[in-house]
Copies of this chain bind each other. A is one copy, B any other.
């Protein structure tokens, strides 16, 4: 199977959201136009995206919800749940921990790490917090593949290096720093301050009807 572009993957996940809702509601089929609206793109874009895995829809009903969902998740998810480690149990880290507590069965934050001896050993929001020195051992034992960085910017690179050494394959970085990583590690940055700055900027530029966001 040919690799699917990042932007497309993002949309596929978002189609998934609507499809779940549709399925809950008992709908059998869905039109490209509905999917398009839910993700704020054109129906052509949707059809093009779905081409990536040869899904057939019919003109009258659109795409069969059940089958589409199955095919989508066949590509987007593994059988086994993805195991995630979070580094930095501060304000943001705790918010994320509490949110992911049994929200998505296939995505679970199985361990949190911090340098603060006060936090290590305790349980926050249902997650065991370990001292950072335990990372490599636990990552190997639990087969953790994704790391979330919510430490202060000054420690972010160091945390990233530890994650790489521990064998993780992808990093979600909330610190406002550009991490230097081996090219085979997937990196996604979420810079909340930057996003607010952008919003502030465009709030002043009138009439620009741009739509953005990961």
Chain A residues with CB under 8 Å of chain B are: 3, 6, 9-10, 13-14, 17, 37-40, 76-78, 82, 84, 91-92, 94-96, 98-100, 103-104, 106-107, 145-146, 148, 168-173, 176, 178, 183-184, 186-214
Contact = CB atoms under 8 A, between A and B. Distances in A.
Contacts of A17: 176
Nearest to A98: B91
A17 B175 CA distance: 13
14 contacts: A3-B208, A38-B178, A40-B178, A82-B203, A92-B99, A107-B200, A145-B200, A146-B199, A169-B203, A172-B195, A186-B202, A188-B199, A189-B213, A198-B214
A105 B77 CA distance: 43
B40 A197 contact: no
Nearest to A145: B203
A194 B82 contact: no
A200 B6 contact: no
A71 to B, nearest CB: 15
Contacts of A204: 78, 145, 169
A176 to B, nearest CB: 7
Contacts of A208: 3, 186
